[in-house]
Amino acid sequence: MRNLILTFPSQATEAVSIGNAATIKLKTAKIQNIVITGLGGSAIGGDLLRAYLADKCAVPVIVNRHYYFPDYVGKNTLVIVSSYSGNTEETVAAYKDAVKRKAMIFCITSGGEVEKMAKKHKHPYIKIPGGLPPRAALGYSFFPTLIALSKLGFIKDQKKEIKETLVLLQSLSARYADHDAAGNQALNLAKTLHGKLPLIYSGADKFDTVNTRWRGQITENAKTLAFGHVFPELNHNEIVGWEVLTGLMKQIHVVILRDKEDYKRIQLRMEVSKGIIAPLADSITEVYTEGKSLLARTFSLLYLADWVSFYLAMLNGVDPSPVKKIDFLKEELGKVK
């Protein structure tokens, strides 16, 4: 897993090349919504696109994590079928449902049943390299799809933002990989989280998916539970829960993901909430984005999460790569058709 994280900047660069080389020919003039269907690591790529494109795309982008689609999906919907392995059972079922609904479809996959179906139905698809844990293939699921949506005319060209992001990732890789460096932010945060229950807070609009990714990487790589919520919603419910279980609360370390462009009232809510939580929790760590563009800032936090989860796995004495409980669950589900 360390090597996969270390070389993520190279993966992102390759993914951009794949996206640039891909040919997706679809008549999209009548498209009213875009639905990305996928699970796990593939769905995270879709969620990132949803958040990133919220103020860049004229039609809504929605992520579907189910065996079928909501009723509004039809001939004026662009369905993006995203399955890294190509065999995710929910995604394969949703693909069949999209065909029945006569939606416009293109796919992104490394092969499997999704590739077979794309060939059968003559749907355009982007083939990405296989053989990785899906959570380690985020670059492959995100960048080609982003570029495809630009080619299809849904968003403006993102070359400048992508270039900045790739340069920043290379810089961060060198910084976080040096486990002997006293100022290694990823390692230091992992040490702080070791033996604690991580609770991730962030703003809701641009960074809710980054929040989800932090929790997912910690649970899958470090094999420890992690929870989270977003502002302002948590100020209307969860904040009240910081009251009764004082012993448990002292085992919670809060990580607040912050961005220079967080909405002003959200910034205020974060400050006031810190004052409420600080005396009750183990402690609070604030993590800030790096970079100029939203894309670079988003990936700065995503990449930090990768390294934090890896170092936390090392401190926990566990191999970050296997996901035995997920494998067992799939085996049990596979027994029932």
pLDDT in tens, the chain (337 residues): 898 999 999 999 999 999 999 999 899 999 999 999 999 888 999 999 999 999 999 899 999 999 999 999 999 999 999 999 999 999 999 999 999 999 999 999 999 999 999 999 999 999 999 999 989 999 999 999 999 999 999 999 999 999 999 999 999 999 999 888 789 999 999 999 999 999 999 999 899 999 999 999 999 999 999 999 999 999 999 999 999 999 999 999 999 999 999 999 999 999 999 999 999 999 999 999 999 999 999 999 999 999 999 999 999 999 998 899 988 988 888 888 7
Q: Which domain holds residue 13?
A: 2-160
140 plus 252 within the same structural domain: no
134 plus 204 within the same structural domain: no
Model pLDDT, residue 219: 97
Q: What is the number of domains present in the chain?
A: 2
Which residues are identified as catalytic? 220, 236, 330
pTM for this entry: 0.94
93 plus 200 within the same structural domain: no
Choose the final residue of a domain: 160, 194, 218: 160
307 plus 265 within the same structural domain: yes
- 171 within some domain: no
17 plus 136 within the same structural domain: yes
- 328 within some domain: no
Model pLDDT, residue 41: 83
15 plus 85 within the same structural domain: yes
190 plus 152 within the same structural domain: no
pLDDT digits (tens, 9 = 90+) for 57-67: 989 999 999 99
10 plus 127 within the same structural domain: yes
- 170 within some domain: no
SS (H, E, C) the chain: CHHHHHCHHHHHHHHHHHHHHCCCCCCCCCCCEEEEECCHHHHHHHHHHHHHCCCCCCCCEEEECCCCCCCCCCCCEEEEEEECCCCCHHHHHHHHHHHHCCCEEEEEECCHHHHHHHHHHCCCEEECCCCCCHHHCHHHHHHHHHHHHHHCCCCCCCHHHHHHHHHHHHHHHHHHHCCCCCCCHHHHHHHHHCCCEEEEEEECCCCHHHHHHHHHHHHHHHCCCCEEEEECHHHHCHHHHCCCCHHHHCCEEEEEEECCCCCHHHHHHHHHHHHHHCCCCCEEEEEECCCCCHHHHHHHHHHHHHHHHHHHHHHHCCCCCCCHHHHHHHHHHHCCC
Model pLDDT, residue 159: 97
CATH of the domain at 101: 3.40.50.10490
184 plus 147 within the same structural domain: no
- 45 within some domain: yes
15 plus 51 within the same structural domain: yes
- 277 within some domain: yes
- 257 within some domain: yes
- 23 within some domain: yes
